Amino acid sequence: MIVKFSRHARRRSKLYNIPESEIENILETQELGEGEHEIIRNISGFKYPIKIVVKVESNFMIVVTNYPLKKGKKV
């Protein structure tokens, strides 16, 4: 599967210093069907879990957004 980042997702990665390679590694381990999915994972080096919203279409995974969850939810 080919992973693409939206402009918004690239800007969020840069803003919160989330490496795109980490996001790609997380997505490679997921078995996702078509549609929109929310993934929440802990990444070492971050105080809060990271939320990734991804849309799956045929042969593409499009990362819509990604950011640290600062309020509440702990994984």
Average pLDDT, the chain: 90
Residue 22: which pLDDT band, with cuts at 50, 70 and 90? very high
- For residue 35, which amino acid is it? G
The residue ranking higher by pLDDT, 50 or 73, is 50
Domains belonging to the chain, first-starting first, are 2-68 (3.30.2310)
Q: Is 15's pLDDT higher than 80?
A: yes
> Which band of pLDDT confidence, cut at 50, 70 and 90, is reported for residue 4?
very high
> Contact, 17 vs 34, CB < 8 A?
no
Q: Which distant-in-sequence residues (6+ apart) come within 8 Å of 11 by Cβ?
A: none
Region 33-61: what's the mean pLDDT? 92
pTM here is: 0.85
